[in-house]
């Protein structure tokens, strides 16, 4: 017997065939029969995966690719600091002072929201066009500004829709936001609120009254009133097109900026109900 083959686990060198070695051939055949289906399955999975990758690469149109539904959302905080927004809202225009107000806002790089009266629009259509071109929001403030007509005779919606049409003819936009003369309470009742909702209009009152109608001879008092009352993260400021308001405007803007406020116009895509009557549908 070859000494290199005797007791050698690695099987180095020549070895004699023995009858019992036939079992290895049978075992090999058995293993092959077991592994053949498994190998076929692995090959099948590989080919399928390759085809799927080729199918993905063959997509040519963006419409064939599913995209996530991304909804717009407000950014309320930035680096842990609560966002503070001030809305300057002017009533009763356009007037002889509107152009000067627009000039002052431009100098301070601030946009505002204007609520206009129908008869005044007819007198100064070019000013309304300039207002829209400058990027300010323009909304209806009625035709008559008369309490009994608007609320007791329930002409709020008809008047606002007519003013909306006037604005659209000059700006190509039909504004949804209205400012109720004298505020929403007690004039806007549940029945009027339902009419407003059906007309797809909205209502905004104010969180700060500048008192510019009271301090007729003091721009300083107007500015102090606005700045001292601005405390919340969102403030809607009532202003009128008056000389004292125009004079107070730079101080108001500077004071609110110092308190951390940014200025914005009303955004129809992010309407938040704010009315004294607390109608959630407005």
pLDDT of residue 272: 86
Number of domains in the chain: 1
- pTM confidence score: 0.72
Tens digit of pLDDT for each residue in 222-281?
A: 999 999 999 999 999 999 999 999 999 999 999 999 999 999 999 999 998 999 989 999
The H-or-E segment that residue 55 falls in is helix 22-57
Residue 94 lies in a domain: yes
Provide the pLDDT for residue 279: 94
Domain assignment present for residue 35? The answer is no
Q: Using 50, 70 and 90 to split pLDDT, how confident is the model at 16?
A: very low
At 92, the pLDDT band (50, 70, 90 cuts) reads: very high
pLDDT digits (tens, 9 = 90+) for 29-84: 666 566 565 555 555 555 554 444 444 333 333 333 333 333 333 445 544 556 89
Identify the CA nearest to 226 among candidates 217, 235, 213, 218: 235
CATH number of the domain bearing residue 93: 3.20.20.370
Is residue 46, in this structure, part of any structural domain at all?
Answer: no
Stretch (H or E) spanning 188: none
pLDDT at 181: 97
Q: How far apart are CA 106 and CA 114, in angstroms?
A: 15
Q: Is residue 171 part of a domain?
A: yes
Q: Is residue 7 a part of any domain in this protein?
A: no
- pLDDT value of position 234: 95
* Inside any domain, residue 60: no
What are 25's two structure tokens? Answer: 């051939």
Residue 205 within any structural domain of the chain: yes
DSSP one-letter code for 148 = I
Tokens for 227? 């700045």
pLDDT class of 7 with cuts at 50, 70, 90: very low
Residues 232 and 110: their CA atoms lie apart, in Å, by: 19
Domain assignment of residue 222, given as a range: 83-270
Looking at 1-10, 157-166, 178-187, 189-198, which range is the least confident one? 1-10
Q: What is the pLDDT of residue 83?
A: 81
Residue 50 belongs to a domain? no
What mean pLDDT comes out for the span 183-209?
A: 97
Spatial distance between the Cα atoms of 168 and 193, rounded to a whole number of angstroms: 23
- Residues 108-140: tens digit of each pLDDT: 999 999 999 999 999 999 999 999 999 999 999
pLDDT at 196 over 80: yes
Q: Are residues 142 and 163 in contact, defined by beta-carbon separation less than 8 angstroms?
A: yes
Residue 24: the pLDDT is 56
Instruction: Name the more confident of 22 and 128.
Output: 128
> Could you tell me how far CA 21 lies from the centroid of its own chain?
81
138-188 pLDDT per residue, tens: 999 999 999 999 999 999 999 999 999 999 999 999 999 999 999 999 999
């Amino acid at each position: 017997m070859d000494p290199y083959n005797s007791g050698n686990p690695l099987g180095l060198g020549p070895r004699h065939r023995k009858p019992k070695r036939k079992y290895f051939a049978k075992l090999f055949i058995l293993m092959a029969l077991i592994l053949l289906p498994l190998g076929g399955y692995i090959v099948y999975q590989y080919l399928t995966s390759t085809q799927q990758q080729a199918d993905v690469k063959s997509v040519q149109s963006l419409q064939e690719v599913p995209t996530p539904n991304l909804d717009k959302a407000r950014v309320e905080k930035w680096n842990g600091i609560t966002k503070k927004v001030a809305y300057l809202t002017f009533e009763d225009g356009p007037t002889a002072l509107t152009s000067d107000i627009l000039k002052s806002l431009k100098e301070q790089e601030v946009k505002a929201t204007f609520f206009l009266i129908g008869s005044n629009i007819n007198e100064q259509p070019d000013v309304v066009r300039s207002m829209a071109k400058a990027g300010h929001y323009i909304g209806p403030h009625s035709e008559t500004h008369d309490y009994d007509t608007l609320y007791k005779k329930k002409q709020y919606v008809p008047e606002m829709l007519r003013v909306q049409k006037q604005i659209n003819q000059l700006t190509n936009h039909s504004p949804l936001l209205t400012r109720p003369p004298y505020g929403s309470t007690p004039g806007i009742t549940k029945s009027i609120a339902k009419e407003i909702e059906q007309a797809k209009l909205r209502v905004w009152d104010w969180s700060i009254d500048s008192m510019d109608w009271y301090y007729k001879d003091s721009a300083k008092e107007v500015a102090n009133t606005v700045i001292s009352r601005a405390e919340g993260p969102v403030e809607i400021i009532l202003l009128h097109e008056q000389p004292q308001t125009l004079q107070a405007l730079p101080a108001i803007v500077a004071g609110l900026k110092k308190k951390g406020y940014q200025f914005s116009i009303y955004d129809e895509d992010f309407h938040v109900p704010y009315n004294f009557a607390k109608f959630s549908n407005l």
